[in-house]
Structure formats: C-alpha cells, structure tokens
Amino acid sequence: MNPADSKTMRDAFLGQLYAAMREDGRIFIVTDDFGAPALDKIRAEFKDRFVNVGIAEQNAINVATGLAIEGFVAYAYGIAGFMTMRSYEQVRTNLSMAAQLRPLNVNIVGVGAGLSYDLSGPSHHCLEDITLMRLLPNIEVFSPSDWTLAARIADRSRHVNAPKYIRLDSKPVPRLYDDGAAVHLDTGFHELAQGAGACVVATGYMTQVAQRALAQSAAPVGLLDIFSFKPLDEDRLCRALEKYRHVVTVEEGFIGRGGLDTLIVGVLARRGVPATVRALGVDDRYLYDVGNRALLHRLCGMDEAAILQAVAQPAPA
C-alpha cells in the first residue's frame, strides 16, 4: 500500500462537504467545538452555516434536528463516543422517533471510531457505538474502512433524507478501493477478496488490519468489508457468505454485544447457513492499557497474527 495514498476519513468527508456547500445552500455543519484541518476552510467561507455550539453534544443534536425540521441538511460533527453516547436520548427522541413521522436529514459524523484514539484511553475509545446506533429504528449506520468510502458516503448523505450515523477513523488510512471500484453503498458491504473455506468479515479500520493479515496467508481467504449496517442487502450478504464453511468476524467493539459479530451470526442463523463463526474483538472490559493501536489489538487478540490464527483454526463446527 502506498503511504502517499493515506488520508484521514474526516478530511476526505469534509472535503466533499466543502465542495457540496459551495453549490448546496441547505448544508449546515454543527460541531461541539471539534475541528479538523479541512474544517478550517468551511469555517472561514461559510460562517452562516457553520455552528459551534460549544462542548455540548446534546445541544448539537438538538440544534441539528431543528435545522433539519426546517428542511436543511445538518451535519453534527464531533468525537464519535461523545456524539453518540452523551446525546443518545436526543438521538432517540428527536431523530429516531421523529424521523418516523417526517424526513430529517441529520448526519451524526463521529470521529474516533473504535480504538483510533488509542493513547487517549477508555474515555475516548468507542466500542459501543455500532451496537447503540443500529438498535435505533429509522437511522442509517455507516462504518467505512477507508477514506474513499468516507467521501462517497459524504456525497450520498445530502441526497438521502434520513438520519444517519457515520463513524470515521481518526487516523490517516490508505485507500482500499480504487476510484472505479463498483461499490454500491446501499448494498452495505463489498467482497474485497474471494476465498475458499474461510472468510474474514470486518468493519472500519479492522478491514485494513485484516487485509494486511491476509496478504501473509498462503491459503485463499475471503474478505468482506461491512461498511454499512443500515442499509444492508442481507440477501446478497448471505449469498456471499454461504460459500464458506468458516467465518471470522473482526471488530473494534465488544464481542457478542450487538455489533458486527451479532449481525453476522443473526444473518447466518436466519438463512440457515451452517458456517461456523469465530468472533474477534474486545472482551467484556475496557482498555486502560497505555499503548498504540497495534498493542491494544494484540492485547485483545485481534491483531494480524490473531486473525491469521483464527483463519487457520476456525471455531469447531
């Protein structure tokens, strides 16, 4: 992977928004005083559509809701764990419930998915957001694995008149997808590699880790990137998975708590697909360990070596 191709998802996302804001006067950005280099241009050029509510996530969601009620396209931009969990009841009442009665285009853009704020410790780790947001009706949930997807999701977001949660990694990541890649966001996933026997299913940054791991595997192992939990074409996902005997899920989230592994186990069970599932992720604890992301992955048994081992020794049938 060429490091020159690396970029943060937020800069890619905000870059698209900046371009869109020049032609689309409906777009507002509401932030809880959280910045980004790409946001500086927006702040300078669109003063009347950039709203800093201060460190007040509940109000960020409520103000964004009010703007959307009036037909604007609102982006509530902040740190993933705080935008989702500090304001969860605002999201539930004013977006999830309200969007059942009227369209509301509020996009919660959370930076710092999973363990991307590795050194900041458990307050900044975000291991619950996928579970919490996919629980709520009427909200789309995106978890891109590279910056090209983040940019595509930004493009789509202003045209789809519904609340969305978009979780972005905080660190620069290489691209996984070519510009011409036939990726359909509404399908929810993409098969990055076809394999035989075993398949890794990952989301967000863990798709990057899984791809690096599988590059070292002699055996052909499949790799599915789940970049959207809603929308998700479950029929197509099932068809992609049914050719494998073993599935390994990898996520920067708690194991067995409604995240990626729960999604896959549920799909396979509902469709009667007999594949075994082995789930890699964070056990039933928070991570106070100080160290970089690779160390945290190793401690949790979800680093490249652990992925390779899980593929080689899948769960018993």
Binding letters toward another protein, positions 2-31, x by CB under 8 A: --------------------------x-x-
Q: Is the dihedral of CA 170, 172, 177, 180 positive or negative?
A: positive
Q: Does 71 bind another protein (CB under 8 A)?
A: yes
- What single string gives the DSSP state of each residue in 51-71? EE--S-HHHHHHHHHHHHHTT
The count of residues interacting with another protein (CB under 8 A) is 31
**Smallest distance from the beta carbon of 139 to another protein, in angstroms?**
14
Q: Does 66 bind another protein (CB under 8 A)?
A: yes
- State which residue, 53 or 176, has the beta carbon closest to another protein: 53
- In one-letter notation, the amino acid at residue 101 is L
Residue in 1, 19, 97, 294 binding another protein, rule: CB under 8 A: 97
Decide if 111 contacts 36 (C-beta within 8 A): yes
User: Which ranges in the chain belong to alpha helices (H)?
Assistant: 9-23, 37-45, 57-69, 80-85, 88-90, 129-135, 147-157, 205-214, 234-241, 260-271, 293-300, 304-312
**Smallest distance from the beta carbon of 228 to another protein, in angstroms?**
26
Q: Does 89 bind another protein (CB under 8 A)?
A: yes
**Smallest distance from the beta carbon of 57 to another protein, in angstroms?**
9
Q: CA 303 to CA 280: how far, in whole Å? A: 9
- State which residue, 132 or 226, has the beta carbon closest to another protein: 132
**Smallest distance from the beta carbon of 24 to another protein, in angstroms?**
13
Q: How many CB atoms lie within 10 A of CB 253?
A: 30
Decide if 47 contacts 23 (C-beta within 8 A): no
Residue in 6, 58, 120, 217 binding another protein, rule: CB under 8 A: 58
Q: Does 70 bind another protein (CB under 8 A)?
A: yes
- State which residue, 88 or 147, has the beta carbon closest to another protein: 88
- What single string gives the DSSP state of each residue in 146-176? SHHHHHHHHHHHTTS-S-EEEEE-SS-B---
Q: Does 113 bind another protein (CB under 8 A)?
A: no
Nearest-10 Cα torsion for 247, 252, 258, 263: -30
**Smallest distance from the beta carbon of 27 to another protein, in angstroms?**
11
Residue in 4, 44, 47, 101 binding another protein, rule: CB under 8 A: 101
Q: Does 84 bind another protein (CB under 8 A)?
A: no
Q: Which 8-state DSSP code applies to residue 288? A: -
Q: Which residues bind another protein (CB under 8 A)?
A: 28, 30, 48-49, 51, 53-54, 56, 58-59, 61-72, 74, 89-90, 93-94, 97-98, 101-102
